[in-house]
Amino acid sequence: MKKSVKILAAVIAFVFASFATQAQDMKDHVMMKNGKMMMMKGGKETMMTSDMKMKDGNMIMKDGTVKMKNGKTMKMMEGESMDMEGHMYDKDMKMKKSMK
């Protein structure tokens, strides 16, 4: 009985440590979710209230429009996200080709 309690405690500790590591690894980003632009910062999700400039110079508008440094524009689709460096990801979190 004591052995199974110790094993259960070890499993629970491992699971909590795993979740903590995942939360720390999660990068800050913006994403289109349910037709609205959301911002994930420090593990907390909030609605975007203003336009943002990414480190690569691209601008993200709160309506999901992306204005690139070269003047081109695009609209983020449901599930797409962009990290603060300006890397674009699809809904499966796979990096998309450069938008330059």
CB neighbours of 98 closer than 8 A, spacing ≥ 6? none
Q: Give pLDDT, residue 25.
A: 47
Residue length, the chain? 100
Q: 96: Cβ–Cβ under 8 A, 6 or more apart, which residues?
A: 80, 88, 89, 90
pLDDT in tens, 33-86: 999 999 999 889 999 999 999 999 999 999 999 999 889 999 999 999 999 998
| H helices present in the chain, as ranges | 2-25
How crowded is residue 76: how many other Cβ atoms within 10 Å of its Cβ?
A: 19
Return the bridge partners of 47, or none. 38
What pLDDT is attached to residue 94?
A: 81
